[in-house]
């Protein structure tokens, strides 16, 4: 339900913010329908990957499934408290990998393919959106109708395309993200793939419908400056790439793909000075932190609760304290240098 309330609800932000869909309830209903249909019709392959493609399904027990889901939840909850946007897909994959590392049973080749998708797809999204953005910029400058101005049939057609692009993005979210919740359950044999995507899709849709109102409102207001053609490009690019990945069974981060598509459109409009704002660094940090943090949490929980290894836990705590200490020393050293120079002694 939380997946539906956050990621899925945002998919209709362009359509709602631009006025293509004026009713919040209608927008949320379209999201819910798209998410459920995406999960039920095409979510099976990603469910299989998370259930048995990264670690052997024979390894998964009820206890380990709880640890995987708990690790994902703890990581996402902590990130939400700190205001850090993490990818649900990457966090779930990291939690599964943590269990595999703890038992030294991991399908490394499959994992490398998944990670390569995390890097390749955002690049494709950026390049496509940048190329499309350059074309859109010329079209919108040449004729106001491309900006959706006026009340003719052309404007109505653009608004319909925006709504369809939002539906496509919601459909892709259902195909890919539902597996994050039910994949481990299916892998452990606690439910079948069919029932997993049905119930998973149902609850993600319910989350979007019941809890997604504020996310839709916020997302829509943030995107009101975006033109209709730009919105179609961003939602269409993200949705299409995630659908293709889902058919191949690859769990991928929809948010990162959409973000890089927005960067592509922005670069076409404003040039590459947009990249000087530290956006790329932030995206790379999110990509790195999301899976590694949940991997460490799940590994620690396994060694703490299922396969107790007190000496290993002591070493991990020692490493953590050392890293925090080094960071604190570095910050203190930098503060001392700044103070030294500000007082004039360094000149």
Where does 103-220 show beta strands of DSSP type E?
none
How far is it, in rounded angstroms, from Cα 190 to Cα 213? 32
Q: What is the mean pLDDT, run by run of 10 residues, along the chain of 347 residues?
A: 75 79 89 93 91 89 92 80 73 92 91 92 93 90 77 82 91 90 90 92 90 76 70 91 94 85 83 64 74 90 87 82 83 74 56
How far is it, in rounded angstroms, from Cα 98 to Cα 104? 10
Residues 6+ apart with CB under 8 A from 92: 50, 68, 72, 179, 180, 183, 251, 294
pLDDT reported for residue 236: 92
How far is it, in rounded angstroms, from Cα 53 to Cα 343? 59
pLDDT reported for residue 182: 92
**pTM summary value:** 0.84
Q: What is the 3-state secondary structure (H, E, C) of the chain?
A: CHHHHHHHHHHHHHHHHHCCCCCHHHHHHHHHHHHHHHHHHHCHHHHHHHHHHCCCHHHCCHHHHHHHHHHHHHHHHHHHHHCCCCCHHHHHHHHHHHHHHHHCCCCHHHHHHHHHHHHHHHHHHHHHHHHHHHHHHHHHHHCHHHHCCCCCHHHHHHHHHHHHHHHHHHHHHHHHHHHHHHHHHHHCCCCCHHHHHHHHHHHHHHHHHHHCHHHHHHHHHHCCCCCHHHHHHHHHHHHHHHHHHHHCCCCCCHHHHHHHHHHHHHHHHHCHHHHHHCHHHHHHHHHHHHHHHHHHHHHHHHHHHHCCCHHHHHHHHHHHHHHHHHHHHHHHHHHHHHHHHHCCCCC
In Å, how far are 39, 43, 141 from 326, measured between CA atoms?
A: 45, 44, 53
Contact 251, 49 (CB under 8 A): yes
pLDDT reported for residue 271: 74
DSSP letter string over 21-32? Answer: S--HHHHHHHHH
Residues 6+ apart with CB under 8 A from 54: 93, 96, 97, 100, 106, 107, 110, 111, 114
Domain boundaries, the chain: 2-308, 311-347
Q: Is 63 helix (H, G, I), strand (E, B) or coil?
A: helix
């Amino acid at each position: 339900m939380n997946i539906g309330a956050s990621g899925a609800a945002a998919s209709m932000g362009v359509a709602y913010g631009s006025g293509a869909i004026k009713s919040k309830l209608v927008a949320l209903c379209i999201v819910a329908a798209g998410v459920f249909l995406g999960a039920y019709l095409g979510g099976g392959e990603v469910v299989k990957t998370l259930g048995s493609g990264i670690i052997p399904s024979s390894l998964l027990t009820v206890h380990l499934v709880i640890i995987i889901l708990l690790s994902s939840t703890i990581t996402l909850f902590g990130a939400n408290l700190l205001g850090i946007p993490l990818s649900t897909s990457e966090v779930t994959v990291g939690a599964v990998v943590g269990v595999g590392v703890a038992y030294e049973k991991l399908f490394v080749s499959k994992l490398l393919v998944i990670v390569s998708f995390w890097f390749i797809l955002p690049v494709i999204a950026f390049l496509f959106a940048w190329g499309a953005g350059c074309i859109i910029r010329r079209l919108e400058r040449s004729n106001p109708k491309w900006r959706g101005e006026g009340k003719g049939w052309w404007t109505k057609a653009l608004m319909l395309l925006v709504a369809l692009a939002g539906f496509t993005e919601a459909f892709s979210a259902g195909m890919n993200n539902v597996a994050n919740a039910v994949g481990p359950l299916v892998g452990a044999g606690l439910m079948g793939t069919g029932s997993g995507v049905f119930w998973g899709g149902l609850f993600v849709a319910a989350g979007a419908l019941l809890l997604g109102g504020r996310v839709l409102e916020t997302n829509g207001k943030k995107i009101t400056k975006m033109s209709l053609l730009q919105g179609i490009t961003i939602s269409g690019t993200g949705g299409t790439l995630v659908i293709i990945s889902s058919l191949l069974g690859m769990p991928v981060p929809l948010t990162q793909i959409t973000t890089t598509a927005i960067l592509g459109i922005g670069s076409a409009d404003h040039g590459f000075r947009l990249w000087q704002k530290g956006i790329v660094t932030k995206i790379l940090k999110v990509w790195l932190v999301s899976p590694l943090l949940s991997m460490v949490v799940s590994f620690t929980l396994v060694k703490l609760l299922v396969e107790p290894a007190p000496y290993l836990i002591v070493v991990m705590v020692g490493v953590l304290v050392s890293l925090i200490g080094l960071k604190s020393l570095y910050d203190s050293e930098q503060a001392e240098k700044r103070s030294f120079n500000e007082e004039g002694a360094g000149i």
